[in-house]
Amino acid sequence: LGKQGGGRERGGGGSDVVQTVTGGLRDLYLRKLLPLEEHYRFHDFHSPALEEADFENKPMVLLVGQYSTGKTTFIRYLLEQDFPGMRIGPEPTTDSFIAVMYGDSEGNIPGNALVVDPKKPFRKLSRFGNAFLNRFMCSQLPNQVLKSISIIDSPGILSGEKQRISRGYDFCQVLQWFAERVDRIILLFDAHKLDISDEFSEAIKSFRGQDDKIRVVLNKADQVDTQQLMRVYGALMWSLGKVINTPEVLRVYIGSFWAHPLRNTENRRLFEAEAQDLFKDIQNLPQKAAVRKLNDLIKRARLAKVHAYIISYLKKEMPSVFGKENKKKELISRLPEIYIQLQREYHISAGDFPEVKKMQELLETCDFTKFHSLKPKLIEAVDNMLANKIASLMSLIRQEESNMPTEIVHGGAFDGTMAGPFGHGYGEGAKEGADEDEWVVAKDKPAYDEIFYTLSPINGKISGISAKKEMVTSKLPNSVLGKIWKLADCDGDGMLDDEEFALAKHLIKIKLDGYELPGTLPSHLVPPSHRKPFQTVE
């Protein structure tokens, strides 16, 4: 959503709407959801309470991958400049979580100072202790890209049990904390290192419930040829299928994301198209930030409700005097059955329940007698929020989207794809010949004229029936040929002259080459005899 940086950038009526949306989300959370969370100790089991900065912060992108897959280089590629604390090498170089954010001057903020700053959304990370905070920092720099988004670089993941133990903090828990708050999670893979280590597998599993945020990048794809790339892509999808238990296929972007010459150029067009798609996905994050925060709040509310039902059920089943410890053990072991019972009783989807094993581990250390019984008013407040209040916020967001100009990420590598001869698709398909004086169809017109005169034109024009006989030989669907006819029949007389026929053949060629047809005929494709006086090719 535009202007998500804490509301400090004001301009025009749209900003007030943004403030209303952000303020509305915060107000809903504080008045409706937080009381339920606190009453049933939601924060001890799942996620810390949300703070002001969680609602105000810019969209964040989390990069995760094994060592030397190009995570830090990817950030350098997007920003087109080095950032403080950046280290790149073939060995595991990034040993810290680095939040790359906008600042008026370059500098680093160490983790312990970062988690006490109320303007940054990292205060709740203090619960992971000094072992983590010594490996966490914020890198600030004045960069156009960072005015719209923040990027989180994570330590390269190694394989083996030793790595997991030696970190000194729960790496997967930290990743899960970030995953709940970021707008996009990008998993990076190296075309030469497709194995998913134990720790990487655990890291991916910690993103459970955040599948809609995950994108996959197959980096360094220029280092293999086309045949090898097909095998690598297949192997990657097979590996991911074993770790990410969803029926849908993840979106994988293939390319080489650094500012160096391609080692293998035979897939250049593929890499350019994939990079463009990835850039569009990232560029649209500011526009979608409010919807993402709303979506995350709904997910959180559903989990909080389920948690309340679980805790209140355990409280209800506990004896008042004797046999408390034995009953506690029995209830923990029966948790899967309790889940099924609650699903039936309250008509809750199985997907809304927390993971059984994790919940059982957390319950081991709890005193069930201190749990609270079910309080219907708290549940009703959350139900009311989900049924009514959320809908009014959604209409506010739609109003904001229609009233404000679309905000996208600018600067860095993103500007290189916007316009000019190196913009994606420049001079290709329907855009070919846009900056030339001569009509682009003219070079093939002699060949098209030969076909035209075999169709027995009358008074220099062929009928629709004659044109159809020739156009259907392209084997394109009638819906496509109908659009081509509409574009080519410039004067709308239901017939084609030699120039209009040549244009139709040119548009057929564009479609057969794999490009999209334009919605309206660009000025440079209009046949010379059909151009209005003083019309120039733009």
* Cα 341 to Cα 336: distance, rounded to the nearest angstrom: 9
Looking at residues 33-39, what average pLDDT do you find?
Answer: 95
Q: Running DSSP on this structure, what letter comes out for residue 72?
A: H
| Measured distance CA(522)–CA(520) in Å, rounded | 6
- Please tell me the pTM assigned to this model: 0.76
Please provide the average confidence, as pLDDT, over all residues in the chain: 86
Confidence check: pLDDT of 533 > 80 = no
Would you say residue 93 has pLDDT above 60? no
Q: What is the pLDDT of residue 266?
A: 87
Under the banding of pLDDT at 50, 70 and 90, the label for residue 166 is: low
Of the segments 70-84, 239-253, 409-423, which one has the largest average pLDDT value?
70-84
- Which amino acid is residue 377, in one-letter code? K
**Structure-token pair, residue 515:** 């490009």
Q: Which positions ≥6 away from 227 have C-beta within 8 Å? A: none
Distance, CA of 505 to CA of 230 (rounded, Å): 34
Buried b (16+ CB within 10 A) or exposed e, 485-524: bebbbbeeeebbbbbbbbbbbbbbebbeeebebeeebeeb
pLDDT at residue 16 tops 70: no
Question: Burial, 301: exposed, middle or buried (Cβ in 10 Å; 0-12, 13-18, 19+)?
Answer: buried
Task: Give the pLDDT of residue 162.
Answer: 47
Per-residue pLDDT, averaged over 215-219, amounts to 94
Mean pLDDT score, 188-201: 85
Residue 2 has pLDDT above 80, yes or no: no
Question: 297: exposed, middle or buried (C-beta count within 10 Å: 0-12, 13-18, 19+)?
Answer: buried
Structure confidence at residue 341 (pLDDT): 95
The predicted structure's pLDDT at residue 385 = 92
Nearest in space to 78 (alpha carbons), one of 137, 148, 4, 155: 148
DSSP string, 99-164: EEEE-SS-EEEEHHHHTT-TTSTTGGGGGGHHHHHTTEEEEEE--TGGGT-EEEE-PPB--SHHHH
Over residues 233-261, the mean pLDDT reads: 85
pLDDT > 90: percent of the chain: 56
Model confidence band, residue 8 (pLDDT cutoffs 50, 70, 90): very low
Q: How confident is the model at residue 373 (pLDDT cuts 50, 70, 90)?
A: very high
Fill in the amino acid letter for 384: N
At a CB cut-off of 8 Å and minimum separation 6, what does 315 contact? 368, 369, 371, 372, 373
Q: How confident is the model over 358-364, as a mean pLDDT?
A: 93
Sheet with 97-102: list strands edge to edge. Answer: 107-110, 136-141, 97-102, 150-153, 60-65, 184-190, 214-219, 252-254
Number of residues that make up the chain: 538
